[in-house]
């Protein structure tokens, strides 16, 4: 573990999880699963078997610095990297890569979102360790690919060569953004496609070399930083210039251009929990497929109801539901949302409309 590092990306808003996820406190800081821990806290603890605490970094928006410290009070403040603007994943990852490389030029690290669910943690840990050991002596960039269990139009896909190279790894042929239903069905039947989970493994040196080659605007900026990344002048430089960096994902900036991409197929009980429906799919449910998130489940009574997801944050409120099927019921302090689960993709658009009509007080 000497040269193993972890980068957790925790700067997103999670607007598809409205009204639970808000701009002031997005879903990575919430106990979405009802187990007493935020998604960020669970992600941090998951990686403690892969890297020591002083080699775990969190990149987040500067507005969330205090939220990160509250969730992980033992975190080294020098390893909380603050973004003044959201510029997508490429600048975020480059920020961490240059920080790590300055600290340890021999480092290899894994990049992971802060708000994903992984049920088979032991398998995940072993696969990540295998990947980190591989990139320690290789310039390849690895993306963990999730073995699909059903057609899904909400995920990007990795098209890979079925013939393995170097044991468990496969060459990546191409990436496909969220497909339509027909393509998703075809991908599943083909057997050479994986879900793109946005989990990456590489050496600090290799990813920086790829930034130099494929996204020089980003690498040029970070190359200019000669002082310590935690120095006041460096923080001010980033705050003043970060908005000038290209707002681009690492997939577009690097992964779709580089010829050095490998994937490892993984069956790890993964979900990005990107939507309420994705949460409903993986959460515990009763015999009628109703899922309940409540600090006092005895006060929620459902009769003749099927396929619903109910979130109740008030431990003293009695909730009675009868004759409801396939609905999302989210009761927050200031918003009650009752919405068909099959229309949940419209929630992001709904939120924008609410902001136009009622301002930002509910966002």
% of the chain at pLDDT higher than 70: 100
Structure tokens at 254: 């690097």
Q: Pick the closest to residue 57 from 174, 204, 157, 161 (CA basis).
A: 204
Q: Is the pLDDT confidence value at 1 over 90?
A: no
Q: Tell me, what's the pLDDT at 295?
A: 83
Structure tokens at 181: 């239903």
Q: Tell me, what's the pLDDT at 274?
A: 85
Residue 323 phi, psi (nearest 5): 70, 30
Other Cβ atoms within 10 Å of 163 Cβ, number: 7
In the chain, DSSP finds a helix count (H) and a strand count (E) of: 11, 17
> Domains of the chain by range and CATH?
4-271 (3.90.550.10), 276-358 (no CATH)
C-alpha to C-alpha distance for 127 and 133, rounded to whole angstroms: 10
Using the structure block, give the residue that is written with the tokens 């927050």: 332
Q: Tell me, what's the pLDDT at 59?
A: 98
DSSP states along 146-191: EPPSS--SSS-EEEE-SS-BTTTBEEEEEEE-S--HHHHHHHHHHS
Span 179-205, pLDDT tens digits:
999 999 999 999 999 999 999 999 999
Q: 40 in helix, strand or coil?
A: helix
Read off the pLDDT band of 255 (50, 70, 90).
very high
Read off the pLDDT band of 345 (50, 70, 90).
confident
**66-70, 103-107, 219-223, 292-296: segment of lowest average pLDDT:** 292-296
Q: Is the pLDDT confidence value at 134 over 80?
A: yes
Q: Is the pLDDT confidence value at 325 over 90?
A: yes
Strands 80-83 and 56-61: parallel
Span 59-76, pLDDT tens digits:
999 999 999 999 999 999
Q: Tell me, what's the pLDDT at 153?
A: 87
C-alpha to C-alpha distance for 338 and 360, rounded to whole angstroms: 20
Span 80-108, pLDDT tens digits:
999 999 999 999 999 999 999 999 999 99
Mean pLDDT (whole number) for 206-216? 97
Q: Tell me, what's the pLDDT at 282?
A: 84
Q: Is the pLDDT confidence value at 34 over 90?
A: no
Distance of CA 79 to the CA centre of its chain: 18
Task: Report whether 362 contacts 343 (CB < 8 A).
Answer: no
Q: Tell me, what's the pLDDT at 290?
A: 97
Read off the pLDDT band of 350 (50, 70, 90).
very high
Q: Tell me, what's the pLDDT at 166?
A: 86
Task: Give the list of residues 6+ apart from residue 215 with CB closer than 8 angstroms, or none.
Answer: 90, 94, 246, 248, 253, 254
Query: What rounded mean pLDDT belongs to the chain?
Result: 94
Mean pLDDT (whole number) for 111-137? 96
Q: What is the pTM of this model?
A: 0.93
Task: Give the list of residues 6+ apart from residue 350 with CB closer than 8 angstroms, or none.
Answer: 18
Read off the pLDDT band of 280 (50, 70, 90).
very high
Q: Is the pLDDT confidence value at 133 over 80?
A: yes
The long-range contacts involving 167-171, CB below 8 angstroms and separated by at least 24 positions, are 168/127, 168/130, 168/264, 168/265, 169/134, 169/140, 169/142, 169/262, 169/263, 169/264, 170/262, 170/263, 170/264, 170/265, 171/261, 171/262
Strands 157-160 and 141-146: unpaired
Could you tell me if residue 117 is left (phi over 0), alpha (psi between -120 and 50 degrees) or otherwise beta? beta
Task: Give the list of residues 6+ apart from residue 296 with CB closer than 8 angstroms, or none.
Answer: 312, 315, 316
Read off the pLDDT band of 46 (50, 70, 90).
very high
């Amino acid at each position: 573990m000497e040269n193993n590092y972890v980068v957790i990306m925790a700067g997103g808003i999670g607007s598809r999880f409205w009204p639970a996820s808000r701009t002031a406190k997005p879903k990575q800081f919430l106990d979405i699963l009802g187990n007493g821990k935020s998604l960020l806290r669970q992600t941090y603890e998951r990686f403690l078997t892969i890297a020591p605490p002083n080699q775990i970094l969190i990149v987040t928006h500067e507005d969330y610095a205090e939220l990160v410290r509250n969730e992980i009070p033992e975190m080294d403040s020098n390893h909380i990297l603050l973004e003044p603007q959201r510029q997508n994943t490429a600048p975020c990852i480059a920020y961490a890569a240059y920080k790590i490389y300055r600290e340890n030029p021999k480092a290899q690290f894994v990049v992971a979102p802060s708000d994903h669910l992984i049920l088979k943690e032991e398998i995940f840990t072993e696969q990540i360790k295998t990947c980190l050991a591989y990139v320690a002596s290789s310039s390849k960039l690895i993306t963990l690919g999730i073995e699909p269990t059903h057609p899904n139009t909400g995920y990007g896909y990795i098209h890979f060569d079925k013939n393995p190279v170097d044991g468990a790894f496969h060459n990546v042929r191409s990436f496909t953004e969220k497909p339509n239903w027909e393509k998703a069905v075809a991908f599943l039947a083909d057997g050479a496609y994986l879900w793109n989970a946005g989990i990456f493994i590489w050496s600090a040196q290799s990813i920086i070399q790829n930034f130099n080659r494929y996204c020089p605007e980003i690498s040029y900026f970070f190359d200019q930083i000669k002082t310590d990344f935690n120095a006041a002048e460096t923080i001010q430089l980033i705050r003043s210039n970060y908005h000038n960096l290209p707002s681009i994902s690492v997939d577009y900036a690097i992964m779709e251009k580089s010829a050095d991409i490998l994937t490892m197929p993984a069956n790890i009980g993964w979900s990005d929990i990107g939507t309420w429906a994705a949460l409903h799919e993986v959460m515990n449910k009763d015999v009628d497929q109703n899922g309940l998130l409540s600090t006092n489940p005895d006060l929620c009574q459902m009769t003749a109801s099927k396929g619903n997801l109910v979130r109740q944050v008030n431990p003293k409120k009695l909730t009675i539901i009868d004759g409801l099927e396939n609905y999302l019921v989210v009761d927050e302090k200031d918003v009650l949302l009752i919405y068909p689960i099959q229309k949940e993709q419209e929630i992001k658009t709904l939120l924008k409309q609410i902001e136009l009509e009622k301002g930002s007080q509910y966002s």
